A and B are shown apart, each in its own frame.
Chain A
């Protein structure tokens, strides 16, 4: 069974600064995917970034990037140039290749300080 752990219930960052959200996971599978989803106050879950475990290169989407450390089973999200619209709950999740079920972490609430 997969587990996903987010050890930071809350984080805050000054607008325009950089923040890193932590995530660790555990899986016995060799092929799997890792995701970061954002849930703003509207409660719409939005895909932020996805990483295939077989790819060594860290995924990047504009201001969002990940630090994927496969051996350490770590998958942190870095948000650069934080904006007010980044304020949300961020969930780390994983799924096995060929099985689309997602395992979610408990979430990190990110506050942006103007």
Chain B
């Protein structure tokens, strides 16, 4: 178990640029989640995959955001035309869930700063 891995750890970009983050979940985990965390707040749900299917997107996820999980393995989160309000920590988590609830295992996050 190597844990959930996220890359990069930090990203500084100028407003209007596109950015892409990668998440590698724990290998046997079927569920993958993206959360966003702003300073002084708890994580907020963005989107969720069951294997390769994206099953829900939060209303926090505007049309500028897109997430993929090809082949049900790693996932990418892309933000187009970044805005200063996108500055946050983006957390990926995974779980092995057959039914009901199971704990989420989080990565160390990608901190995005939009200047």
Please indicate whether A and B come from the same complex rather than being unrelated chains.
Answer: no
Mark B residues whose CB is within 8 Å of A: none
A residues in contact (CB < 8 Å) with B: none
